[in-house]
């Protein structure tokens, strides 16, 4: 019994390191080449952390937010939003630790939500979500979509009025 407990105690940091590394890699890729400001952890009750990426002139160009989402397993949902001349684009949503869901059918079902969260122009002040319809969504898909839309809208609003924690020094 002690052997199993010791093995599990040694294995847990390795498993969590893998998912943290995948999350960090997703964030780094999204904000590549930009000056980055990072919020406190937790950022709010709904969002775990927000990152804003600024260009060489100090203008916000890209924002990233993530949170844990209850699905078949608890996974991390990441949203990337780009600011462009005509508004905002929800560039992508990702689940860097989707491998936690071992059942291929369940994993595919959750990943199908992400297909609709790619390169979507949206207005953060509109009363509708960036992605407001999901085909064949399950209860997990609907809940996940709500969180991803909320994070996308929130990132865009933060890029419009840069918060104090993100002001360039």
- Provide CB contacts within 8 A for 4, sequence distance 6+: none
Per residue in 122-157, pLDDT tens?
Answer: 889 877 666 655 555 566 677 888 889 899 999 999
H-helix or E-strand containing 49? strand 49-54
Output 26-31 pairs: Cβ under 8 A, ≥24 positions apart: 26/78, 26/94, 26/96, 27/51, 27/64, 27/66, 27/78, 30/62, 30/64, 30/78, 30/80, 30/91, 30/92, 31/62, 31/64
One digit per residue, pLDDT tens: the chain, 169 residues?
333 333 333 333 333 434 688 999 999 999 999 999 999 889 999 999 999 999 999 999 999 999 999 888 899 999 999 999 999 999 999 999 999 989 998 888 888 888 888 898 988 987 766 665 555 556 667 788 888 989 999 999 999 999 998 886 5
Domain boundaries, the chain: 2-166
Determine the Cα–Cα distance for residues 132 and 120; give it in Å rounded to an integer.
11
Residues for the chain: how many in total?
169
């Amino acid at each position: 019994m002690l052997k199993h407990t010791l093995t599990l105690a040694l294995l847990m940091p390795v498993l969590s390191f893998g998912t943290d590394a995948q999350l960090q890699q997703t964030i780094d890729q999204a904000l590549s080449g930009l000056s980055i400001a990072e919020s406190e952890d937790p950022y709010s009750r709904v969002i775990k952390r927000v990152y804003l990426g600024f260009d060489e002139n100090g203008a916000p160009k890209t924002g990233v937010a993530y949170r844990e989402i209850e699905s078949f397993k608890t996974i991390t949902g990441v949203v990337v939003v780009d600011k462009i001349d005509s508004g905002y684009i929800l560039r992508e949503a990702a689940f860097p630790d989707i491998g936690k869901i071992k059942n291929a059918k369940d994993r595919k079902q959750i990943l199908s939500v992400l297909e609709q969260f790619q390169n979507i122009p949206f207005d953060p002040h509109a009363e509708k979500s960036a992605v407001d319809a999901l085909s064949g969504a399950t209860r997990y898909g609907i809940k996940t979509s709500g969180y991803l839309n909320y994070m996308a809208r929130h990132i865009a609003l933060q890029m419009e009025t840069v918060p104090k924690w993100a002001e360039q020094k």
